[in-house]
């Protein structure tokens, strides 16, 4: 494999997604000291079109249309949901809704799923999953008198399906898993896990937050039951952007979510005395959606759908393969090891590098114009978002990391995590 900078530039010249880079702010600097942003798996860049889209809602729809603009705003959740369903998630129209936070959506679907499996008293989750997912599972179990089975997973290689299978039986109501492990990027096959859980009669609730917009979910093809995910990472919806939820069409009328709000009612403006859930995915809405934030989400969702999830995934794999190849070539002698699965089919769109001083390396890189992030216990995480990251950006970022390690400049930074990244 040619690992020269010229080879990276050639890959950029041949990149079918290259035109999308100019549609994001902060990407027009080609200088040697430019900012190299490799944290798109935490917060995506700002699309150029987003400020105008939000301003239009503020100035025209709110400013001039006032309450009359609700005719369009009411449709936002479903409209954006359908964009994500078709262009990003591999789902059908009417199966995806945008509006609440990922945590609220996870709670809603977890409780609804548990209610749909009466007589079952166990929830299963992964012991190494993102903390909020585990906290919500524990909270729901405590409130309902259920038991949690936390399935162990390897920090780097992720979940072993044989271990998961051993935790499944007729007592399990819902399994909660992430498609992509937030630390290592280890990828779980949605179709395999869904089929496995179905044998025991359990539902699977997927958290797609760490891959949506860069990793195909193919929910319909996989027969997936339930899913949630954020929109501020690879989908570029902005900090704190509303999340999405997915409910398979065949399950929608069987489930009743626990937060009975007026936006989830069949005839919300009838202001009825009793709650009557709406048909379809609309029953999983709660209250008034965050209209301004949704405008930003729509821009990001449409960009990803236009690029196409399969093309995004192919480039994401190529970018992360370059990270791994350069780490092997340049950094192995400095105590850096690749802590993500090496097989592309087992890896999401970010790479985790292990080093005893990963925290200090993270700070040294930030001060040298490279933005990664740190994850406990000793992981440097690099997330080259395929919509706007170039191969030469990856090459230059790894070159700066090589320089830091060669000069041992990271050793001047404190060992305590005193700075938020």
pLDDT, tens digit, 9 for 90 and up, residues 93-116: 999 999 999 999 999 999 999 999
Residue 420's pLDDT band (boundaries 50, 70, 90)? very low
User: Is the previous residue joined to 377 through a cis bond, with omega within 30 degrees of 0?
Assistant: yes
Mean pLDDT of 296-317: 98
Give the domains, in start order, of the chain with CATH numbers: 5-48+308-412 (3.90.1150.10), 74-307 (3.40.640.10)
Instruction: Please state, rounded to an integer, the average pLDDT across all residues of the chain.
Output: 96
Residue 421 pLDDT > 80, yes or no? no
Q: Tally Cβ neighbours within 10 Å of residue 49.
A: 16
- Cα dihedral across residues 97, 102, 108, 114: positive or negative: positive
What are the percentages of helix, strand and coil residues in the chain, rounded to 5? 45, 15, 40
The two three-digit tokens of residue 118, written as one number = 């009466």
Nearest Cα residue to 396 out of 2, 1, 6: 6
Nearest Cα residue to 38 out of 407, 388, 399: 388
Q: What is the pLDDT of residue 1?
A: 84
187-220 residue pLDDT tens = 999 999 999 999 999 999 999 999 999 999 999 9
What H or E segment, with its residue span, contains residue 150?
strand 147-151
Q: Which residues contact 29 (CB under 8 A, 6 or more apart)?
A: 35
66: left (phi over 0), alpha (psi -120 to 50) or beta: left
Catalytic site positions: 130, 207, 232-233, 381
Distance, in Å, from the CA atom of 400 to the CA atom of 364, rounded to the nearest integer, reads 10
Distance, in Å, from the CA atom of 119 to the CA atom of 109, rounded to the nearest integer, reads 18
Q: What is the DSSP letter of 287?
A: S
Query: In this prediction, what percent of the chain has a pLDDT beyond 90?
Result: 95
236-275 residue pLDDT tens = 999 999 999 999 999 999 999 999 999 999 988 888 889 9
**For 165-179, 189-203, 381-395, 407-421, which range has the lowest pLDDT when averaged over its residues?**
407-421
pTM over 0.85: yes
**Count helices and strands in the chain by DSSP H and E runs:** 13, 13
Mean pLDDT of 357-382: 96
Residue 331's pLDDT band (boundaries 50, 70, 90)? very high
Q: What is the CA radius of gyration of the chain?
A: 22
Q: What is the pLDDT of residue 97?
A: 98
- Tokens 């790479």 sit at which residue? 351
Mean pLDDT of 361-373: 96
Distance, in Å, from the CA atom of 150 to the CA atom of 165, rounded to the nearest integer, reads 12
Mean pLDDT of 129-138: 97
Q: What is the pLDDT of residue 268?
A: 86
- Collapse the DSSP code of 212 into the 3-class scheme (helix H, G, I; strand E, B; otherwise coil) and give the result: coil
Strands 172-178 and 122-126: parallel
Distance, in Å, from the CA atom of 340 to the CA atom of 402, rounded to the nearest integer, reads 19
């Amino acid at each position: 494999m040619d690992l020269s900078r010229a080879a990276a530039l050639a890959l950029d010249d041949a990149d079918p997604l290259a035109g999308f880079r100019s549609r994001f702010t902060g990407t027009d600097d080609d200088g040697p000291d430019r900012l190299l942003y490799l944290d798109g798996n935490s917060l995506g860049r700002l699309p150029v079109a987003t400020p105008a889209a939000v301003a239009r809602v503020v100035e025209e729809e709110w400013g001039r249309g006032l309450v009359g603009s609700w005719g369009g705003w009411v449709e936002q959740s479903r409209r954006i949901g359908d964009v994500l369903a078709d262009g990003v998630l591999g789902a059908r129209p009417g199966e995806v809704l945008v509006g609440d936070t990922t945590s609220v959506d996870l709670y809603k679907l977890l409780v609804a799923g548990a209610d749909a499996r009466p007589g079952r008293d166990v929830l299963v989750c992964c012991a190494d999953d993102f903390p909020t997912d585990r906290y919500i599972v524990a909270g729901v179990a405590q409130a309902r008198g259920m038991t949690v089975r936390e399935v162990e997973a390897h920090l780097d290689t992720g979940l072993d399906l044989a271990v998961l299978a051993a935790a499944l039986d007729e007592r399990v109501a819902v399994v909660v898993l992430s498609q992509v492990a937030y630390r290592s990027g280890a990828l779980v096959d949605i179709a395999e896990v869904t089929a496995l859980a179905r044998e025991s009669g359990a539902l699977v609730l997927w958290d797609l937050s760490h891959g949506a917009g860069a990793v195909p979910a193919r929910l319909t093809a996989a027969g997936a039951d339930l899913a949630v995910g954020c929109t501020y990472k690879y989908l570029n919806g902005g900090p704190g952007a509303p999340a999405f939820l997915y409910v398979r069409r065949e399950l929608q009328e069987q489930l009743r979510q626990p937060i009975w709000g007026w936006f989830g009612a069949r005839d919300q403006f009838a202001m009825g005395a009793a709650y009557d859930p709406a048909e379809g995915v609309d029953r999983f809405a709660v209250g008034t959606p965050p209209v301004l934030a949704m405008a930003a989400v729509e821009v990001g969702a449409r960009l990803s759908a236009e690029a196409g999830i399969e093309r995004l995934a192919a480039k994401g794999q190529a970018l992360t393969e370059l990270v791994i190849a350069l780490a092997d070539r340049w950094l192995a002698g400095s105590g850096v090891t690749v802590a993500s699965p090496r097989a592309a089919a087992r890896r999401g769109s970010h790479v985790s590098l292990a080093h005893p001083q990963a925290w200090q390396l993270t700070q040294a890189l930030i001060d040298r114009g490279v933005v990664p992030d740190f994850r406990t216990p000793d992981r440097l995480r690099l997330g080259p978002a395929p919509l706007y990251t170039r191969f030469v950006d990856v090459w230059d970022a790894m070159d700066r990391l090589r320089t830091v390690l060669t000069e041992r400049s990271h050793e001047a930074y404190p060992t305590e995590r005193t700075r938020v990244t």
